[in-house]
Amino acid sequence: MNVDGLKIVDATLRDGGLVNDFAFDDSFVKALYQANLAAGVDYMEFGYRASRRQFDPCAFGKWKFTSDQDVWEAIGEKDPRMKLSIMVDVGRTDFREDIAPRKDSPIDLFRVATYMETMPEAIEMINYISSLGYETTCNIMAISKCTDEQIAKALYSLAATPALAIYVVDSYGALYPKQARKLTRLYHNILAPVGKEVGMHAHNNQQCAFANTIEARDCGAKWLDGTAFGMGRGAGNCHLEALLGCLNGKKYHIEPLLRLIQEQMLPMKEAGIVWGYNTSYLLTGLANQHPRMAIAATKEKDYEYVEQFKVLSYQ
Residues that bind its own copies (CB under 8 A): 176-178, 204, 206-212, 214-215, 218, 229, 239, 241-242, 245-246, 248, 254-255, 258-259, 261-262, 266, 279, 282-283, 286, 303-306, 309
Closer residue to its own copies (CB): 94 or 255: 255
Taking the C-alpha atoms of residue 162 and residue 35, their distance in angstroms, rounded to an integer, is 31
Taking the C-alpha atoms of residue 230 and residue 236, their distance in angstroms, rounded to an integer, is 5
Smallest distance, Å, CB 214 to its own copies?
A: 6
Cα separations in angstroms, 194 against 3, 163, 198? 22, 11, 12
- Residue 117's Cβ-side half-sphere holds a number of Cα atoms within 13 Å equal to 3
Smallest distance, Å, CB 227 to its own copies?
A: 14
Closer residue to its own copies (CB): 93 or 212: 212
Pairing type for strands 135-140 and 165-169 reads parallel
Smallest distance, Å, CB 24 to its own copies?
A: 20
Closer residue to its own copies (CB): 88 or 228: 228
Taking the C-alpha atoms of residue 179 and residue 176, their distance in angstroms, rounded to an integer, is 5
Smallest distance, Å, CB 277 to its own copies?
A: 8
Closer residue to its own copies (CB): 164 or 297: 297
Nearest to 14 by CA among 114, 100, 90, 111: 111
Closer residue to its own copies (CB): 119 or 208: 208
Smallest distance, Å, CB 301 to its own copies?
A: 10
Amino acid at 203: H
